[in-house]
Structure 1
Amino acid sequence: MSDAGEFIDAALQRESSWSRADELQSRLGKEPGGSGLRFYGASVGAVRGTVRNAGRRYPGLSHDEITALSSELWAVPVFERRLAAVVLLQAKVKLLTNSDLTRLEGFIRDARVRELVDPLAVEVVGPLVAGLDVLGRVRADSVLERWVREPDPWLRRAALLSPLLALRAGAGDWDTFVRHAGSVQHEPSETPTPDSDGAVVREAVSRVLAEMAKKRPELRFASVRG
């Protein structure tokens, strides 16, 4: 393990709490990707603080060092390590490039837990794509188009959630979101359990529409779709 990886892991373990670990296990263990996870019991605030401290201790990490560290943290199926990988990528999203979507796709396919997939989509994938140049954006958009047609519901969820920050800020491609969301709305429904494939995807649509209803009520889902 790298020095930075050891620093983060040790700090997360020092922040552990048996009661919090039990609560996380009880709550997240029910999600499709939760059964294989272990939990230290560190709070979200402790995870974010640990990543900040690591940034101060190991300043100036390059793109390759950041992405390698994220993969190192993710490789061990501990929730807090994986959340630290997400926080790290969020903090360094300006260093990421179009090619990093392959790594992020692997994380999303592997995660299958809302508390990991959603911040990856909203706080990493979305800002990464928004910050690309024209050519990079075209390539990234083709990746998201593929994701939204994937059988994997977590990739589809990520594609739908990815423009949320931009849309909140008054930017973003509303027409593309509506087109993607409309295709989801017309899919056949299965048994309505919280973690059924359709529910996982439709929940993402509902989240974006609910936030836009509050922040940008001028946007209309049905009228743009039609």
Structure 2
Amino acid sequence: MTTVQDVAAFIDRTLQNEGTWYRADDVEGRLGGSLASYGASVGAVRGTVRDALRKFRDLDHDGVVFLASALWGVPKPGSRPVFERRLAAVVLLQARVGLLRHTDLTRIEGFLRSAHTPELTDPLMADVLVPLLGALGEKDRRRAVTVLDRWKADPDRQLRAAARIGGNHE
């Protein structure tokens, strides 16, 4: 049986193999050193996630959200989070947004708080949050509005922006 760790390891290994040092330097410099980079292109990240979803077809809701969290985290203790891994988490959530539930908003909140760049927050809001909210039934939508209301008053500007974007799709 395939584990989430197996899938994360496949994605991580592939992204490292796709990377170049000059692209990694560019990404790290552009992001101010807040995230490490393997130097893989956006196309390579998208292709890697697509290949992983084909290879590991049995990912259900829990598998998808656990995999996204694994990719969002640090690859090993003491290291920095990696931009391409986080982008892979966003691409994964985009690809499987139909599996997401209102209860996943707290996970998305954590991602928004720690993204460190619009290159991650913008697609999280536009391509994950908005479709997620749009697909909710009435009962779950009311629960989601409670979360969005909390975000509106949060000191984190990304969460306030997400609340505005999400509030437009209630």
- 1:121 equivalent in alignment to 2:125: yes
Alpha-carbon distance, 1:19 to partner:
1.3
Structure 1 residues 1-226: aligned runs within 5 Å? 2-29=5-32, 35-76=33-74, 77-162=81-166, 172=169
Superposition RMSD in Å: 1.5
Letter of the aligned partner of 2:28 in structure 1? Q
Letter of the aligned partner of 2:99 in structure 1? L
* C-alpha distance in structure 2 between counterparts of 1:4 and 1:50, whole Å: 11
For structure 1, which runs of at least 5 residues remain unmatched after alignment? 30-34, 174-226
Alpha-carbon distance, 1:36 to partner:
2.9
* C-alpha distance in structure 2 between counterparts of 1:82 and 1:162, whole Å: 21
Q: Deviations over 1:86-139 (max 9, x none)?
A: 110111111010100011111111113111111111111111111000011111
Alpha-carbon distance, 1:158 to partner:
2.1
Report the TM-score, using the length of structure 1 for normalisation.
0.68
Q: Specify the structure having the higher radius of gyration (Cα).
A: 1
Specify the SS of the correspondent of 2:112: helix
User: In terms of mean alpha carbon deviation, does 82-91 or 104-113 score higher?
Assistant: 104-113
* C-alpha distance in structure 1 between counterparts of 2:127 and 2:22, whole Å: 28
* C-alpha distance in structure 2 between counterparts of 1:43 and 1:117, whole Å: 18
Partner of 1:222: none
Alpha-carbon distance, 1:152 to partner:
0.9
Q: Deviations over 1:57-94 (max 9, x none)?
A: 00031111111111100111000000100110111111
Report the TM-score, using the length of structure 2 for normalisation.
0.89
For structure 2, which runs of at least 5 residues remain unmatched after alignment? 75-80
The 8 Å contact of residues 118 and 158 in structure 1, kept in 2 or not, is answered as no
Partner of 1:180: none
* C-alpha distance in structure 2 between counterparts of 1:80 and 1:161, whole Å: 25
Specify the SS of the correspondent of 2:37: coil
Letter of the aligned partner of 2:64 in structure 1? I
The 8 Å contact of residues 34 and 116 in structure 2, kept in 1 or not, is answered as no
Letter of the aligned partner of 1:121 in structure 2? M
Considering Cα pairs closer than 8 Å and 6+ residues apart, tell me whether 1 or 2 has the greater RCO.
2
Q: How many residues align?
A: 161
* C-alpha distance in structure 2 between counterparts of 1:36 and 1:113, whole Å: 9
* C-alpha distance in structure 1 between counterparts of 2:6 and 2:89, whole Å: 15
The 8 Å contact of residues 73 and 82 in structure 1, kept in 2 or not, is answered as yes
Shift of the 99–28 alpha-carbon distance from structure 1 to 2, 3 Å rule, reads: same
The 8 Å contact of residues 5 and 73 in structure 1, kept in 2 or not, is answered as yes
Percent identity between the two aligned chains: 54
Shift of the 159–47 alpha-carbon distance from structure 1 to 2, 3 Å rule, reads: same
